[in-house]
Amino acid sequence: MTYNRRVQYYETDKMQCTHHSNYIRFMEEARLDFLDKIGYGYARMEKEGLISPVISVDVQYKKPTTFDDIICIEVALKSMTLAKMEFGYTMTCRGEVVCLAKSEHCFLNKDNRPVSIKKVNPALFDLLCSKIE
């Protein structure tokens, strides 16, 4: 799924490039958009007593972007287990890859204890599994 993001002026550094830390924020925006688009937004997950924190991030910066650039973020669910999921991100701008990234997330209950998503929410598990690319 694609999420488009315009770089804001405040997201650039002294060299007028998008600051590297913002790409992780862009990933989160794209991931939440992905969940909304598949009909199971993060707000719903939280309401049902689940959270899915980031446990690892890997980012490869390829080319800089600057203020007012539109970054197209292709986000895909790459793998799913009973307790974790991994997303992949390909970010492009003006037809060129500017960033490749992945993030891994676990599932916790409202007490911050790890859970098997298949056991506590089989419908969500099945939906996510159906979206693996």
CA 31 to chain centre: 3
Can you list the alpha helix ranges (DSSP code H) found in 1-133? 21-37, 42-47, 117-120, 122-130
The torsion of the CA quartet 72, 97, 54, 40, rounded to 10 degrees, works out to 30
Question: Is 36 labeled as catalytic in the residue annotation?
Answer: no
Which of 13, 58, 68, 126 does the annotation list as catalytic?
13
What CA–CA distance (Å, rounded) separates 104 from 88? 9
List residues with catalytic annotation: 13
